Chain A
Amino acid sequence: MSFVQNFPFFSIIIAMFSGIVSSVISGKKARNLSLAAIAVTTCMSAAVLAFTWRTGESYTYMMGHFPAPWGNEIRAGVLEGLVALMFGVVMFISVMGGLDHTEKDVEPGKLNLFYIMIDLMLSSLLALVYTNDLFTAYVFVEINTIAGCGLIMIRQWGRSLSAAIRYMVMSSLGSGLFLIGLSLLYDVTGQLLMIPAKEAVAQIAASDTYVIPMLVILAVISVGLAIKSGLYPFHYWIPDTYAYATPTASAILSGLVSKGYIFLLIKILYRVMSPEHLMEGYTLDVLYWFGIAGMMMGSIHAIQEKDTGRMIAYSSVAQIGYIYMGIGLGTLGGTTAAIFHIFSHGATKALLFISAVGLYEASGGERDYLSLRGAGYRNPLAAIGFTVGAMSMVGFPMLSGFISKLLFATSAFENTGKLLPTLIALAVSTTLNAVYFLRLVISLYRPERKKVGGVRRDSWNLRLAVVCFILLNLVLGLFSQPIVRAIGQGLEMFD
């Protein structure tokens, strides 16, 4: 056994322990520890990715050396390594970009508490990516929820508090459904580990028993995770949550947290459920149509919105719709496109939230998109970052959003039944995206009507973060081939 194989476990435990240590040290030290932990775990994820890429197969890591039906397992392959690497990179840049805003928004003396939440968030995201055990997944889903709520409520603002309680209520509903789904699944199969559970599920499918219970399990787990990731009809908590948190928290919540749940759902759909059950229950079709509804409605809501932060948040609803549409296609290409869009949206949405902060500050703290008029001249770098992000979301060539739209469109040809609706949805949604994003970008570069105060230079870390995110977007857009190949290889060794 190679030493690298320990890394998934090490990275989860490092993140968790730095959270524990942060509770007794000062804010500055906690910040440095948190950044170091994210950097170290990201390097470890890269090592796991390189290792599994070289060996060409995924491996299972037994916790405490108890063999399959009993113990707790971690499983790492190319896909898991890649997702963990991407989450780490986006998280590091987001934390770095929001450093001084965090210090301003958090009550004095409580800075270390914020970084505890960041550490817990990191460890729970990594655990959701790597774990192979259903109940461990539930526990880390809850840790993720608690950390997410902490990240929102750390800003002592009425809107953040009310957003936090709504987030908490919706997330608790989602976790409740997920938990009852797991309990039912454990009941029917007698297994908690994903691989033995899959064998049991396949037996059940072959023997044609428990048809309705399996349908209920699938429905309850999908709805639970859909609520938590903000699929269209369950998106009401999204705009306030993303728009009124501190910038780092907005970037992490919109770029990463919902993606962790989606990755878990992909895992359960393909690693636990059998294809027969997926077909019989029309689960994928339901996800597909709700995804398309989300693409439309998210953009329409965004067009009606005047507040820039809420506009970007509604655009997240639309992008989550894209991801669910990709999963709903039910083909290898569709899932590849969905996972690529997880990366692309993570990089882009974090860029939009971080650079929007620079624009608000250049416009005297106003968030209305009309008040951002001329902000492109007052804060050029933030405006370039925002423009790149907006272009990427619309699907401009060379940027990551274009590649994901291309992948969605080409993968639609694998499933002829859904070809036409997918292409129409992509076309309409792209147009709607263009309406509100270009409106904002044009507003940034219109000549200013009157001099606005509050012109100030952003701190170096915010500017560095914007540059890093732009580069990440370009890398995803220009060098997408190896990434797509890695996702394809990862999906092959996934189940």
Chain B
Amino acid sequence: MFTHLMLNIEETVSMILFGIGFTTLLLHPNLIKKIIGMNIMDTAVYLFLAAKGYIAGRMVPIMSDGIQDASAYINPVPSGLVLTGIVVSVSTTALMLSLTIRLYERYGSLNLDRILILVKEEGKT
């Protein structure tokens, strides 16, 4: 059991990181830390994909020195997925940050629980 985990150390680490990020995003009341949690979660997936695409002893999937043989390179698909995923996560992060700025300007707090209480009070008056 433990040897299997050690053999696939990248995957193990990425799953632990995913758990950390997921929990932070779900449970942490601070908005900035929530966003950091989301980034950790996404990055964990990229680590997982990159680890899965890697084949020991092969090159980056960019044609170099005229070697055309596919067996000289690692699997390019996971790298492509990681790049796409990074673009997506950058835009989600930007959107979340801009929302956080809006909420902070309005309520002077980054604590989501507190903001929700303030919103409720605002609705009553």
Give me the interface of A with B, judged by CB distance under 8 Å: 135, 138-139, 142, 145-146, 149-150, 153, 158-159, 161-162, 164-165, 168-169, 172-173, 175-177, 179-180, 183, 186-187, 192
> With a CB–CB cut-off of 8 A, which chain A residues contact B45?
176, 179-180, 183
Given contacts A169-B25, A176-B21, A183-B48, contact A164 B99 (CB under 8 A): yes
How far is A158 from B105 in the complex, measured between Cα atoms in Å?
Answer: 11
Other 7 A-B pairs with CB < 8 A, given A139-B88, A150-B95, A176-B38? A146-B92, A149-B95, A168-B96, A168-B99, A173-B25, A180-B18, A186-B52
> With a CB–CB cut-off of 8 A, which chain B residues contact A161?
99, 102-103, 106, 119
How far is A360 from B45 in the complex, measured between Cα atoms in Å?
Answer: 46
> With a CB–CB cut-off of 8 A, which chain A residues contact B106?
158, 161
> With a CB–CB cut-off of 8 A, which chain B residues contact A138?
88
Is the pair A162, B96 in contact by a Cβ cutoff of 8 Å? no
> With a CB–CB cut-off of 8 A, which chain B residues contact A165?
31, 96, 99-100, 103, 112, 115
List, sorted by A's number, 17 A–B pairs whose CB atoms are closer than 8 Å. A142-B91, A145-B92, A146-B95, A153-B102, A158-B118, A159-B123, A161-B106, A164-B99, A165-B112, A168-B95, A169-B26, A169-B34, A173-B26, A176-B21, A176-B22, A176-B25, A177-B22
> With a CB–CB cut-off of 8 A, which chain A residues contact B38?
172, 176
Q: Does B108 contact A (CB under 8 A)?
A: no
How far is A177 from B91 in the complex, measured between Cα atoms in Å?
Answer: 18
User: Which of B44, B52, B81 gathers the greatest number of chain A CB atoms within 10 Å?
Assistant: B81
Q: Does B122 contact A (CB under 8 A)?
A: yes
- Min CB distance A244 to B, Å, is 9
Given contacts A135-B84, A172-B25, contact A187 B52 (CB under 8 A): yes
Is the pair B84, A139 in contact by a Cβ cutoff of 8 Å? yes
Is the pair B123, A176 in contact by a Cβ cutoff of 8 Å? no
How far is A146 from B96 in the complex, measured between Cα atoms in Å?
Answer: 10
Is the pair B48, A153 in contact by a Cβ cutoff of 8 Å? no
Q: Does B85 contact A (CB under 8 A)?
A: yes
> With a CB–CB cut-off of 8 A, which chain A residues contact B112?
165
> With a CB–CB cut-off of 8 A, which chain A residues contact B91?
142, 146
Q: How many inter-chain residue pairs (CB < 8 Å) link A and B?
A: 87
- Min CB distance A217 to B, Å, is 13
Nearest opposing residue in chain A for B121, CB measure: A158
Nearest opposing residue in chain A for B51, CB measure: A187
> With a CB–CB cut-off of 8 A, which chain A residues contact B81?
135, 183, 186
- Min CB distance A413 to B, Å, is 40
- Min CB distance A121 to B, Å, is 14
| CB within 8 Å of A: which B5-37 residues | 18, 21-22, 25-26, 31, 34
- Min CB distance A339 to B, Å, is 28
> With a CB–CB cut-off of 8 A, which chain B residues contact A142?
88, 91-92
How far is A192 from B78 in the complex, measured between Cα atoms in Å?
Answer: 11
Q: Does B60 contact A (CB under 8 A)?
A: no
How far is A169 from B45 in the complex, measured between Cα atoms in Å?
Answer: 18
> With a CB–CB cut-off of 8 A, which chain B residues contact A183?
45, 48-49, 52, 81
How far is A164 from B102 in the complex, measured between Cα atoms in Å?
Answer: 11
- Min CB distance B70 to A, Å, is 12
- Min CB distance B15 to A, Å, is 8
> With a CB–CB cut-off of 8 A, which chain B residues contact A172?
25, 38, 41, 92, 96
How far is A135 from B84 in the complex, measured between Cα atoms in Å?
Answer: 9
How far is A176 from B44 in the complex, measured between Cα atoms in Å?
Answer: 10
How far is A138 from B89 in the complex, measured between Cα atoms in Å?
Answer: 12
> With a CB–CB cut-off of 8 A, which chain B residues contact A150?
95
> With a CB–CB cut-off of 8 A, which chain A residues contact B99?
149, 153, 161, 164-165, 168
How far is A394 from B16 in the complex, measured between Cα atoms in Å?
Answer: 46
> With a CB–CB cut-off of 8 A, which chain A residues contact B119?
158-159, 161-162
- Min CB distance B66 to A, Å, is 23
Is the pair A176, B42 in contact by a Cβ cutoff of 8 Å? yes
> With a CB–CB cut-off of 8 A, which chain B residues contact A158?
106-107, 118-119, 122-123
Instruction: Give the residue of A145, A149, A176 whose beta carbon is less than 8 angstroms from that of B41.
Output: A176
Nearest opposing residue in chain A for B98, CB measure: A153
Is the pair A173, B123 in contact by a Cβ cutoff of 8 Å? no
- Min CB distance B8 to A, Å, is 11
Nearest opposing residue in chain A for B34, CB measure: A169
> With a CB–CB cut-off of 8 A, which chain A residues contact B102?
153, 161
- Min CB distance A164 to B, Å, is 6
How far is A463 from B75 in the complex, measured between Cα atoms in Å?
Answer: 57
How far is A91 from B95 in the complex, measured between Cα atoms in Å?
Answer: 24
User: Which of B18, B95, B100, B118 gathers the greatest number of chain A CB atoms within 10 Å?
Assistant: B95
How far is A481 from B117 in the complex, measured between Cα atoms in Å?
Answer: 50
Is the pair B92, A162 in contact by a Cβ cutoff of 8 Å? no
> With a CB–CB cut-off of 8 A, which chain B residues contact A145?
92
Nearest opposing residue in chain A for B15, CB measure: A180
How far is A290 from B41 in the complex, measured between Cα atoms in Å?
Answer: 26
- Min CB distance A471 to B, Å, is 36
Q: Does B59 contact A (CB under 8 A)?
A: no
- Min CB distance A200 to B, Å, is 14
- Min CB distance B100 to A, Å, is 7
How far is A187 from B44 in the complex, measured between Cα atoms in Å?
Answer: 15
Given contacts A153-B99, A161-B106, A165-B100, contact A173 B49 (CB under 8 A): no
Nearest opposing residue in chain B for A70, CB measure: B77
How far is A135 from B45 in the complex, measured between Cα atoms in Å?
Answer: 13
Nearest opposing residue in chain A for B11, CB measure: A187
